[in-house]
Amino acid sequence: MTVWNLGSVNADMVFRVPHMPAPGETLSATGYQKGLGGKGANMSVAATRAGSHVEHIGAVGEDGLWMKERLAGYGVGTTHLAELPGPTGQAIIYLDAEGENQIVLLAGSNTEISEAAIASALEGARAGDIAVFQNETNGQQAFARAVKARGLRLAYAAAPFDAAAVAAVLDQLDILVMNEVEARQLQDATGLAPEALPVAEVLVTLGAKGCRRFDTVSGQVQDVPAPKVTPVDTTGAGDTFTGYLLAGLDQGLSMEEAITLAQKAAAVMVTRLGTADVIPTRAEI
Ligand code: ADP
Ligand code: NA
């Protein structure tokens, strides 16, 4: 089966700085690292490392060919990753000596994706495939409609959180993944607690505390603890969780088994510096 991911692709450019620059200040960086990132790309790599076939739907700009090639090199399907004029999405990240960060995000080609291309990509979907998207691209409603028209299961990772974006697709979702903060924001915006949402499976990730699963059909609430590790860098943990979760479900695991697998992968991820490039393989977990 295939995991269809409408997702962002970003160049993460990390500048190490002695302190955050003040307005008007020119500051010398003490280090620089460029990596593949973006919630979409992270999830595609995670699901692929978990052993599933992923088709990534999205767009890179004229500076983004290396990112498309890297995704393809990791085994992600890139047939539906368009090459557009203009810049690819990018994150300029300042990381200071205390580990604090400051991030400027440019959406670039991630918000220039053709809705017609999304619909035509999904013509290749088969019954039993599963689909996922996040809030870093345009075309979310078109994707949700096309996915549901083909009868696939649809998962949404509600990040970066935007209440209007979630509300616009909520009725179409089968699975909703949020962290604790996002779940609270959604409840504040809609008045609905996780168990009252019109989505069959609502998963709230709780960092080191693991994941709470709301099976809203049976009304069952289940806590799945996370493995204990010493965290080094939690960047990409949520994306690794979701990518592995989708791959687990794609491979026929139950929701509980898929959550357990996803948490093992996410726990390894928090012990590593970096994003897409360091997501663990199935063999490593
Ligand atoms: P996000 O990174 O999206 O904010 P969380 O912080 O809730 O989301 O983390 C997502 C998942 O990553 C958790 O459900 C857990 O499985 C794993 N995780 C995150 N932090 C830790 C940690 N300190 N120890 C073990 N697992 C963790
Ligand atoms: Na990490």
pLDDT at 97 over 90: no
User: Ligand 2: distance of its center to the CA of 38 in Å?
Assistant: 13
> Which residues does the annotation place in the binding site for ATP?
179, 205-210, 238-239
- Three-state helix/strand/coil letters over 22-89: CCCCCCCCCEEEEEEECHHHHHHHHHHHCCCEEEEEEEECCCCHHHHHHHHHCCCECCCEEECCCCCE
CA distance linking residue 5 with residue 19, whole number of Å: 37
Cα torsion 181, 264, 279, 41: sign: negative
Q: Which of 72, 162, 59 is nearest to 116 (CA)?
A: 59
Q: Are 74 and 66 in contact (CB under 8 A)?
A: no
> What is the position in ligand 1's atom list of the atom closest to the CA of 210?
14
Instruction: Give the pLDDT score at 99.
Output: 78
How high does pLDDT run on average in the chain?
96
The arithmetic mean of pLDDT across residues 154-161, rounded, is: 96
Which residue minimizes the CA distance to atom 10 of ligand 1?
Answer: 238
Q: Which ligand is nearest to the CA of 278?
A: 2
pLDDT given for residue 98 in this prediction: 85
Across the range 42-61, mean pLDDT stands at: 98
Question: What pLDDT, on the 0 to 100 scale, is given for residue 235?
Answer: 85
Mean pLDDT of 27-33: 96
Closest atom of ligand 1 to CA, residue 231: 23
Q: Provide the 3-class DSSP secondary structure of residue 198.
A: coil
Task: Encode pLDDT of 168-211 as tens digits.
Answer: 999 999 999 999 999 999 999 999 999 999 999 999 999 999 99
Tokens encoding 148: 């549901």
For the segment 61-74, the average pLDDT, to the nearest whole number, is 97
3-class state of residue 150 by DSSP: coil
- Summarised one tens digit per residue, pLDDT across range 218-249 is 999 999 999 999 988 888 999 999 999 999 99
Residue 80 has pLDDT above 90, yes or no: yes
pLDDT above 70 covers a percentage of the chain that reads 100
The CATH architecture one would assign to domain 2-278 is 3-Layer(aba) Sandwich (3.40)
Could you give the residue numbers annotated as active site? 239
All residues at 6 or more sequence positions from 220 whose CB lies less than 8 Å from its CB, including other chains: 213, 214
Pocket test for ligand 1, best of 234, 261, 272 (most atoms within 8 A of CB): 234
Distance 246 CA to ligand 1 centre (A): 16
| Minimal-distance CA residue to ligand 1 atom 8 | 238
Residue 50 falls in which region: left (phi positive, over 0), alpha (psi -120 to 50) or beta = alpha
pLDDT, tens digit, 9 for 90 and up, residues 107-122: 999 999 999 999 999 9
Average pLDDT in the 61-77 region?
Answer: 98
- The residue-averaged pLDDT of 139-159 equals 97
- Report the alpha-carbon distance of residue 271 to residue 264 in Å, rounded: 11
Q: What is the pLDDT of residue 232?
A: 86
Q: Which residues of 228-255 are buried (b: 16+ CB within 10 A; e: fewer)?
A: eeeeeeebbbbbbbbbbbbbbbbbebeb
Here the ipTM equals 0.97
- Residue 100's pLDDT is 84
- Can you say which residues are annotated as belonging to the binding site for K(+)? 233, 235, 269, 272, 274
Query: Interhelix angle for 65-73 vs 39-49, to 10°?
Result: 20
Q: Which residues line ligand 1 (CB under 6 A)?
A: 179, 205-208, 210-211, 226, 229, 231, 234, 237-238, 241, 263, 266-267, 270
Tell me which of 236 and 49 has the higher pLDDT.
49
Within 10 angstroms of residue 272's Cβ, the number of other Cβ atoms is 17
Domain ranges of the chain: 2-278
Query: C-alpha angle with apex 41: 133 to 244, nearest 5 degrees?
Result: 70
Contacts by 215-220 with C-beta closer than 8 Å and gap 24+? 215/255, 219/195
